[in-house]
Amino acid sequence: MTSRRQFLAGLAATTLSPIRSWASVGAPDFLAAGLFPDGSYRLAGLDAQGTILFSVPLPARGHAAAAHPFKAQAVAFARRPGTFAVVIDCGTGSPIAQLEAPKGRHFFGHGVFSADGMYFFVTENDYEAGEGIIGIWDAETFARLGEFPSGGVGPHDMRLMPDGNTLVIANGGIETHPETGRTKLNLPTMEPNLAYLTLSGTVQDQMSLSHRLHKNSIRHLAVRQDGLVGFAMQWQGSKAEHPPLLGLHRRGEDPRLLSAPEQDQSTLQGYAGSIAFSADGATIAITCPRGNALHRFDSAYGAFKDAFELQDVCGLGSGADGLIFTTGTGVFGELTNTDPVIQTRAKCQWDNHLIPIHSPA
């Protein structure tokens, strides 16, 4: 496995060059973290068929990534409670900077760039205070500029709304501390929410689940172009219960919670891993790696469409003709209106997320 010292030595040796645009690079089409056969954790750039174009070693296990809106550049985030984020030139497949969480903080594995590409925002944990934080970083100098509260506890995923001025944050509600690893410290009192904040941290709206579902941690997000937010949840309550793991929300309205029929819902073990809208926005889907399942729903009416059995499926993103998924067995596949089609099977274990890169028109 690549050590932190080896990684930093390689980073120092990297020759910096001007970062090209996504259009000039042409690819990759997706980013994904994974565990490779040599024991190294890497962030890989993939084309539309799942071919690995490059893979960059990470200091430890990665989680998700954020793609710059214009430059062929991405930030790969450590899996919580990791403290690093690596900035990567996707034109050369080389790391160009490494960020470290401030003292007393760790990252949650997700972040997003501002629409103008000048800043990026990172979900963080102030673990002594038990408070969620959004860190603000300069996307040119990679300096930390400031922070503001996330509007809840345990912020995980975060997306930029279509207006370009609002962040929607999945505050999962779970308090953790690095001294106890990933142990959940406040399950009886957890209060997950969706928080809508301006880029300066002003709360514009919040959506909380009913008390009956207060143990349904809101974890991952997808946003449609008209502002409809999809959210995936992970149940922290009784294993005998099979609550909804997918919700839809529009600001100012109550959430709609969607479930599959009980015979399908009961196999998911209360865990949704990733979420995505199809490119046309008509379908929303979640992956459930513990249940080896991918579920699709109609996003207009919330109706359950179908379920597919896929071993250890988790990564999910929109493709040109449907949905693209990855699995912990190395599969990169496509799901359109028929059964899933395996495009490639890499010699690696893909991690939780698949990040589509949408070049501006």
Contacts of residue 22, Cβ cutoff 8 Å, sequence gap at least 6 = 67, 70, 71, 72, 90, 357, 359, 360
The 119-126 sheet, strands edge to edge = 105-113, 119-126, 131-138, 144-149
- Local structure of 297: helix, strand or coil: strand
List the pLDDT tens digit at each of the 361 positions of the chain: 444 444 444 444 444 456 677 666 667 899 999 999 999 999 999 999 999 999 999 999 999 999 999 998 999 999 988 899 999 998 888 899 999 999 999 999 999 999 999 999 999 999 999 999 999 999 999 999 999 999 999 999 999 999 999 999 999 999 998 888 778 988 999 999 999 999 999 999 999 999 999 999 999 999 999 999 999 999 999 999 999 999 999 999 999 999 999 999 999 999 999 999 999 999 999 999 999 999 999 999 999 999 999 999 999 999 988 999 999 999 999 999 888 999 999 999 999 999 998 754 3
CB 293 within 8 A of CB 311: no
Closest CA to 176 of 168, 185, 167: 185
Q: Does domain 227-361 fall into CATH 2.130.10.10?
A: yes
The sign of the CA dihedral 25, 27, 31, 37 is negative
The sign of the CA dihedral 52, 54, 60, 64 is negative
- Rounded to two decimals, the pTM is 0.92
CB 204 within 8 A of CB 192: no
Q: How far apart are CA 256 and CA 251, in angstroms?
A: 12
Q: The tokens of 18 are what?
A: 């001007």
**What DSSP string describes 24-43?**
HH---SEEEEEE-TTS-EEE
Closest CA to 73 of 359, 268, 361: 359
Count Cα neighbours of 28 within 13 Å in the Cβ-side half-sphere: 27
**What DSSP string describes 188-208?**
GG---EEEEEETT--EEEEEE
CB 264 within 8 A of CB 295: yes
Q: How far apart are CA 255 and CA 248, in angstroms?
A: 6
